[in-house]
Structure 1
Amino acid sequence: MSTQVQEQEVVINAEGQILGRMASNVVRLLKEGKKVVIVNGEKAVISGDKNRVIQSYKLLLTVRTLFNPYRNGIRRPRSPINIVKRTIRGMLPKSSKGRRMLKNVKVYIGVPKEFEGRQFIKFPDADVSRLKGKYVTVEVVSKELGWSR
């Protein structure tokens, strides 16, 4: 029984993976019904100049609403875990099926002890070596947004 569960669980190493391309591959695995675990989530990269990427994320923090911001304001992710999950969430179907699929995603900072020694998957089409220009890690963006470990 446990081997069948392990076959359904896919462990992905996000180190040196382009965030958007990795997220689209994760969504494909979720649609196949698999559980996805992402380790080293803070080491995923976002393509683009560091200042431009950080500026675009900070721009989302300045968006205001007419509602009471203390009761139901716009919540923006600041931690690397939530940034990665939010990227995946944006690619999922906007339905109850998509919400169920999002529950099958776990993102970790670093490699937890329970996953040490396991085989990790890296997507070749999401490798950072494809980029010719600049890029920034999710951890750097998170720290600029105010995340502290």
Structure 2
Amino acid sequence: MIIIDANNLVLGRLAARAAKLCLMGEKVSIINCEKAVISGNKKQLLEKWRVRLHLGQPRKGPLYYRAPAPFVRRAVRGMLPHKNARGREAFSRLRCFSSAPKGLEGKGVRIDRADVTKLPNLKYVRIGELCRLIGAKA
């Protein structure tokens, strides 16, 4: 089992690496999902998600997750072929946690190329903060 610490990792790069590991047959746990980041201007990202959340019918969808762990899990699903058996099986190997559970504290692996310091600019927002702004419960 591979444990990835998402603290200060860019969401897209983290999701791509986790998806690849799941497809190769590894069980992947992502911890500290609320500390991962999305690059971009905070106001523009917030506006984009507010527009996306208010599309369609409230009962029928499209529905989006507002909590950090399912938010990250959905990002990884977007990088898997989830509509066929191989992708569904790979997706079942993924677990996401908003913070570090007792048994997994301090065991996370870092992904070098996905760190926030590799961004060309320092405009980013943390997943936990974005989720709270779009309506996550505490």
1:86 equivalent to 2:78? Answer no
Corresponding position of 1:35 = 27
Higher alpha-carbon Rg: 1
Corresponding position of 2:50 = 58
Corresponding position of 2:65 = 77
Q: Which runs of 5 or more structure 2 residues have no equivalent in the other structure?
A: none
Count residues with an aligned counterpart. 136
Task: Give structure 1 regions of 4+ aligned residues with deviation exceeding 4 angstroms.
Answer: none
Higher helix share: 1
Distance 1:56 1:117 in 2: 34
- For residues 31-88 of structure 1, the C-alpha deviation after alignment (integer angstroms, 9 at most, x for no partner) is 11000000100000000000111111112112115xxx43x33211101011101100
Amino acid of the structure 2 residue aligned with 1:44: A
TM (normalized to structure 1)? 0.86
Range moving further from structure 2, 16-25 or 52-61:
52-61
Amino acid of the structure 2 residue aligned with 1:40: N
1:138 equivalent to 2:127? Answer yes
Secondary structure of 1:55's partner?
A: helix
1:99 equivalent to 2:88? Answer yes
TM (normalized to structure 2)? 0.93
